[in-house]
Structure 1
Amino acid sequence: MKKLITLSMVLLLLAGLVGCGSNQPAATKDKGSGKALQVGIIQIVEHPALDAAREGFLEALKKNGYEEGKNLVVNYQNAQGDANNLQPIAQKLASEKPDLILAIATPSAQAVAGATKDIPILITAVTDPVGAKLVNSLQKPGTNVTGTTDMNPIKEQLELLKQLVPGAKNIGVIYNAGEQNSQTQVKKVKELASGLGLEVSEATVTSTAEVMQATQSLVGKVQAIYVPTDNMVVSAANSVVQVADQNKIPIISGESSVVEKGALATIGIDYKKLGEQTGEMAIRIINGEKPQDMPVESQKEFSIVINKKNADKIGVTIPEEVLGKAAKVIK
């Protein structure tokens, strides 16, 4: 009798192990199955644009029935601006085998893509996924990575700069030369600038502590400053604004959070909407689609944001036609 009971227990145990070891993809999980969706999030640094992308992503999941505290478990990790933290964070996230990982910004995406080739990875706030070697192409990623790109409408941004600062001949660009996304943007700025009668002066940084000095190096050389969506520089945007205000230099930025901090204007991406768009792509993966077959998406509509308060402070007149098109005017 004891032998029969023991055999039954062994068989039950084996059946349980087989069930636990099932490699059923996360995509087939049902919201009502009782098993929470496990999502890892890796972010290079906290600043308003990247935070908004994360919030938008989670809101999209909630809208589709996945909510923290109910059927969604989120492991959010932030490198606090230190690239050396990314690899151990990425490796730990991958070892925990979540159902999917959200990587916010290029360095985060590169770290986690190097840590796993199996777990679906959604990227957002990544300017050049192909150049960063995250996907084979935007239309056919061919890897476990897909998501959204935040490539700026740089041509439109430089045209806005010319409208607001018609006398500009030389513009300064401040960026971290170690960021792939920034390299891509600055290359594009230089390609487009000559056609608009602009010369470009570069000021590079390797830490947020260098941002103020880099901005000061442009004083007397440029009539305007362009700030790309560079994570390091945006994190220290207050330093750029401080120096620019003191010297009455207009700032055109790649995204609106810098305008909120005192830059003159942008025509750019709404990062919360970009995060929501990424979240909708995550739902498609949860429902069975494969990232390697899902084209990387970009935002189709861009918004003008004007800081009228800054314009008045530095003596820039905003044309009425620009004000009329603005989605937001800070007064």
Structure 2
Amino acid sequence: MKALFLALAASVALALPAKAADVTVDVTAIVEHPALDAVRDGVKDALAEAGYKDGENLKFVYQSAQGNPATAAQIARQFIGESPDVIVPISTPSAQAVVAATHDIPVVFTAVSDPVGAQLVKSMEKPGGNVTGLSDMSPVAAHIDLIKAVLPDVKTVGFLYNSGETNSVSLLASFKKAADNAGIKVVESAATKTAEVQGAARALVGRVDAIYVPTDNTIVSALEAAVGVADEAKLPLFTADTDSVKRGAIAALGFNYYDVGKQTGEVVVRVLKGEKPGDIPVEIAKGTDLVVNKKAAEKIGLKLPEGIISGATKVIE
């Protein structure tokens, strides 16, 4: 009799619909690379720490646009059709696609250098509407100082970027200003897709003393192509993305993007608990790490100053 009761109970349980998630958070990025993946993971972990756990009371959806702006717009429309509680676009192109597609669903963007310049918000202090988020504007003046500390005689720096990415255009302007103040000339070289990165890097050979890669998703996605050119030409390659150092860059001063994700997730939690996105000031990413790659430097015959090595958060031997 007991066995029959248990069997009936089990069959009833199977027949019942699964409990729906209490909230849904949709996340999208323009492309997959270590920094943006770390942001996504940080957001998810911050939600879990606040009690929103995927598969229990949270439905966490992630999609990558694979570097295609048209796909980013398609994902944005799909997400909006699903009416999630919050959408988290990672990177400027994804954020622009989502913000252009909805004025109702809360949006918390992240890893966007210039939210005002990208026309995502009216101002950093009072974003307004259904949007807020987190800016990762790079400390470009500190990047110039880092390049000068490693290369005291530097005169020209190549800026490798995607001219079609609003984020990178804003960074170029800031970098040029900081470089000019330091008496350094900036030489631009653009790649609008990953297949063009190697050629854009080669265009800098013989014209610059070093190459600099900003937090540009196109270039970072194909970083190995740029590193290969730089190594062959014995050119130091610096980046704004600390995750790129282990991939062959000489050094980077930038954010820990997992921490950026955690910080973003905390804002998402505030929205889930009832705060209006437009009333939450856009936050600036906290903290910077200095990561250096001694092996990459030695490969091109460069010795990193001891002061740089001793001050690094992480040293790759």
**What TM-score bracket applies, with the shorter chain setting the length?**
over 0.9
Query: d(CA) in 2 for partners of 1:88 and 1:314?
Result: 43
- Structure 1 unaligned blocks of 5 or more: 1-32
Shift of 1:118: 0.8
Residues 59-85 of structure 1 show CA distances to partners (whole Å, capped at 9, x for unaligned) of 000011111111111221111111111
1:100 maps to which of 80, 83, 86: 86
Describe the SS at the equivalent of 2:44.
helix
Describe the SS at the equivalent of 1:102.
strand
Residue 7 of structure 2: aligned partner: none
Output aligned runs, 1:56-205, within 5 Å.
56-205=42-191
Output aligned runs, 1:266-285, within 5 Å.
266-285=252-271
Residue 243 of structure 2: aligned partner: 257
Residue 7 of structure 1: aligned partner: none
Please tell me the residue identity of whatever aligns with 1:173.
F
Residues 265-284 of structure 1 show CA distances to partners (whole Å, capped at 9, x for unaligned) of 01111111001000001111
Shift of 1:143: 2.1
Please tell me the residue identity of whatever aligns with 2:315.
V
Query: d(CA) in 2 for partners of 1:111 and 1:48?
Result: 22
Shift of 1:300: 3.0
Aligned residue pairs total: 299
1:326 maps to which of 307, 312, 315: 312
Residue 24 of structure 1: aligned partner: none
Residues 288-330 of structure 1 show CA distances to partners (whole Å, capped at 9, x for unaligned) of 1111010111123211000011111112221211111100000
Contact 2:21 2:56 in 1 (8 A): no
Please tell me the residue identity of whatever aligns with 2:61.
N
Please tell me the residue identity of whatever aligns with 1:325.
G
Output aligned runs, 1:285-300, within 5 Å.
285-300=271-286
Query: d(CA) in 2 for partners of 1:35 and 1:228?
Result: 39
Over the aligned positions, Cα root-mean-square deviation in angstroms equals 1.1
Residue 6 of structure 2: aligned partner: none
Residue 245 of structure 1: aligned partner: 231
After superposing the two structures, state which structure 1 stretch, 41-50 or 67-76, moved more: 67-76
- Give runs of ≥4 in structure 1 deviating > 2 Å: 33-36
Shift of 1:34: 7.0
After superposing the two structures, state which structure 1 stretch, 183-192 or 35-44, moved more: 35-44
Describe the SS at the equivalent of 1:229.
coil
Please tell me the residue identity of whatever aligns with 1:133.
Q
Please tell me the residue identity of whatever aligns with 2:229.
V
Describe the SS at the equivalent of 2:268.
helix
State whether structure 2 residue 193 is matched by structure 1 residue 210: no
Please tell me the residue identity of whatever aligns with 2:292.
I
Contact 1:136 1:143 in 2 (8 A): no
1:50 maps to which of 25, 36, 60: 36
Query: d(CA) in 2 for partners of 1:85 and 1:130?
Result: 23
Residue 14 of structure 2: aligned partner: none
Describe the SS at the equivalent of 1:305.
strand
Please tell me the residue identity of whatever aligns with 1:305.
V
Shift of 1:36: 2.2
Output aligned runs, 1:10-21, within 5 Å.
none
Contact 1:252 1:266 in 2 (8 A): yes
Describe the SS at the equivalent of 2:125.
coil
**Pair 114,195 (structure 1): closer, same or farther in 2 beyond 3 Å:** same
Query: d(CA) in 1 for partners of 2:206 and 2:309?
Result: 29
Shift of 1:35: 4.5
- Structure 2 unaligned blocks of 5 or more: 1-18
Contact 1:165 1:316 in 2 (8 A): no
Contact 2:21 2:59 in 1 (8 A): no
Describe the SS at the equivalent of 1:68.
coil
Please tell me the residue identity of whatever aligns with 2:158.
G
Contact 1:104 1:126 in 2 (8 A): yes
Shift of 1:260: 1.3
Residues 44-67 of structure 1 show CA distances to partners (whole Å, capped at 9, x for unaligned) of 000000000000000000011111
Shift of 1:236: 0.4
